[in-house]
Amino acid sequence: MTHTLIYPHTAVHNAAGHLEIGGCDVVELARAFGTPLFIYDEQTVRDQCRAYHSAFRARTDLYEIVYASKAFSCRAMAELVAEEDLSLDVATGGELAAARAAAFPAERIYFHGNNKSVAEIESGLDTGIGQFVVDSFEEVERLEAAAAARGQRQKVLVRVTPGVRPTTHDFVQTGQQDSKFGFGLADGCAAEAVRRLRHAAHLELVGIHAHIGSQIFELDSYRREVEILFVALDDWRRQTGFECCIFNIGGGLGIRYTEADKPSSIAEFAAMSVEAVHEGAARHGMTTPKLFVEPGRSIAGKAAVTAYTVGTVKVIPGVRTYVAVDGGMSDNLRPMLYDSRYEAMLASKAEAPPTEVVTVAGKHCESGDVLVRDVHIAPPEPGDILVTPATGAYGYAMANNYNAQPRPAVVMVAKGRARVIIERETWDDVLRLQRSLVQ
């Protein structure tokens, strides 16, 4: 096995010369469940959750690991992270519904979103979730009104954009001043939000939240984020008496998609964030708040591969070989959205030397529907099972029905057993909501 860094932890080459994950032969999984198929390794998800817990527990008792379910939201995943003692961040009513279906402990669900509808707010209040992360002045009013109507007092965090730009793709930066998320520090909106929240009779401001972006490799940006936020907290304490109990620094820790990627480790992230929050509190004479982190990608990303069947192999002499598979931008939008790089291998020829340089293309009607460029794989033939690793985060979560393509099935594998956790859509499913003009 040459690609251990980017494949699930249980990935091996088996006696049949196939890729095996969670004790299941990937070629047999493809045969049994069809392709494209997301294969999640339960062990890797658990390992990542435990790596977060042990890295933080070694440094502080005052922490909470919150799985950002947008990375991969479904009932089974919510059940799994609950078993591993993580909390849950939901960003929509749909993600909240998945959490409820999993009977996720309500007080450990935290609700994000820059435009929560009244229905979503009411659903959160009815569920009895732990915190709303308040993102706009409209939300302050809507949430206060809905909580008042129920005679409830709701805990909230205020989401702040600290003006920090990490080095990552523009579309996954969220902490800069010009952002659709949260209240700006520089323009005084965050201070005003704190003032209003402190006056809202049915809201209890318990802390602060910021998320500066995603797929972040350098930890310095987080340090700046924490320093800037403590300066603001100091001001707000003096102006309004607000004592911050919860300091949520968001998610964003990057992962390896290719062998060349060099992300920071979970342990480094824990060391930096715990130290920064302790130092910040000490510098400003505050009690150290409880540290929340919200990883999504670094919990789910490495846990899954996507298996495809090779359909056509188009050789353009002297130019390029396109290996077309039966999925594409409908199950992995990231290469198109962010120009993201992936690796690939033939699960059906796991032991064969990767002598060919090919480009893996999807089946959609877009020239840009390319999953992996210039990757070394064994000589491909129609019928081969090709996998792309590290597709567990923002893969299925962003899956869509472009070209009326049904969304793939998702299986969770462990100890030689595969369980379907999301059924494959059918053409009938795709048609289900359509109505004729003749009615």
Ligand X SMILES: Cc1ncc(COP(=O)(O)O)c(C=O)c1O
Nearer to ligand X, 250 or 280 (CB): 250
Considering only 294, 331, 343, 369, the residue that binds ligand X (CB under 6 A) is: 294
Residue 211 binds ligand X (CB under 6 A): yes
- Shortest approach of ligand X to residue 264 CB, angstroms? 12
Residue 89 binds ligand X (CB under 6 A): yes
The site for ligand X, by CB under 6 A, has a size of 18
Q: Map the footprint of ligand X across residues 390-429, applying CB under 6 A.
A: 393
User: For residue 43, what is the enclosing H or E element?
Assistant: helix 42-57
Q: What angle do CA 96, 109, 236 make, to 5 degrees?
A: 120
Residue 210 binds ligand X (CB under 6 A): no
Output the 3-class SS for 199-264.
HCCCEEEEEEECCCECCECCCHHHHHHHHHHHHHHHHHHHHHCCCCCEEECCCCECCCCCCCCCCC
Nearer to ligand X, 51 or 375 (CB): 51
- Shortest approach of ligand X to residue 132 CB, angstroms? 13
Residue 312's identity, in one-letter code, is T
Residue 116 binds ligand X (CB under 6 A): no
Nearer to ligand X, 273 or 298 (CB): 298
Which residue from 51, 50, 33, 43 is spatially nearest to 7, judged by alpha carbons?
43
* b/e burial code for range 4-16 (CB count within 10 A of at least 16 → b): eebbbbbbeebee
Residue 252 binds ligand X (CB under 6 A): yes
**Active-site option among 24, 74, 244, 365:** 365
Nearer to ligand X, 10 or 174 (CB): 174
- Shortest approach of ligand X to residue 418 CB, angstroms? 25
Considering only 3, 100, 108, 112, the residue that binds ligand X (CB under 6 A) is: 112
Considering only 10, 214, 221, 309, the residue that binds ligand X (CB under 6 A) is: 214
Which residue from 275, 285, 290, 222 is spatially nearest to 252, judged by alpha carbons?
222
Considering only 250, 328, 392, 408, the residue that binds ligand X (CB under 6 A) is: 250
- Shortest approach of ligand X to residue 179 CB, angstroms? 11
Considering only 175, 251, 327, 380, the residue that binds ligand X (CB under 6 A) is: 251
Nearer to ligand X, 212 or 346 (CB): 212
The tokens for 308 are 């495809």
Nearer to ligand X, 253 or 291 (CB): 253
Residue 295 binds ligand X (CB under 6 A): yes
DSSP assignment of 65-103 equals EEEEGGGS--HHHHHHHHHTT-EEEE-SHHHHHHHHHTT
The pairing of beta strand 246-248 with beta strand 203-209:
parallel
159-198 footprint of ligand X as x/- string (CB under 6 A): ---------------x------------------------
Q: In the block, which residue shows the tokens 């997301």? A: 38
Considering only 224-232, 288-296, 305-313, 402-410, which stretch makes contact with ligand X by CB under 6 A? 288-296
Q: Contact, 308 vs 343, CB < 8 A?
A: no
DSSP assignment of 319-356 equals TEEEEEES-STTT--HHHHH------EEGGGTTS---E
- The SS3 assignment for 304 reads strand
Task: Establish whether 365 is a catalytic residue.
Answer: yes
48-87 footprint of ligand X as x/- string (CB under 6 A): --------------------x-xx----------------
Residue 273 binds ligand X (CB under 6 A): no
Question: Which residues fall within 8 angstroms of residue 130, CB to CB, at 6 or more apart?
Answer: 87, 106, 107, 108, 109, 110, 155
Neighbours of 330 (CB within 10 A): 22
Residue 92 binds ligand X (CB under 6 A): no
Nearer to ligand X, 95 or 294 (CB): 294
Which residue from 112, 57, 49, 108 is spatially nearest to 80, judged by alpha carbons?
49
Summarize as ranges the residues that interact with ligand X (CB under 6 A): 68, 70-71, 89, 112, 174, 211, 214, 250-253, 294-298, 393
Catalytic residues: 365
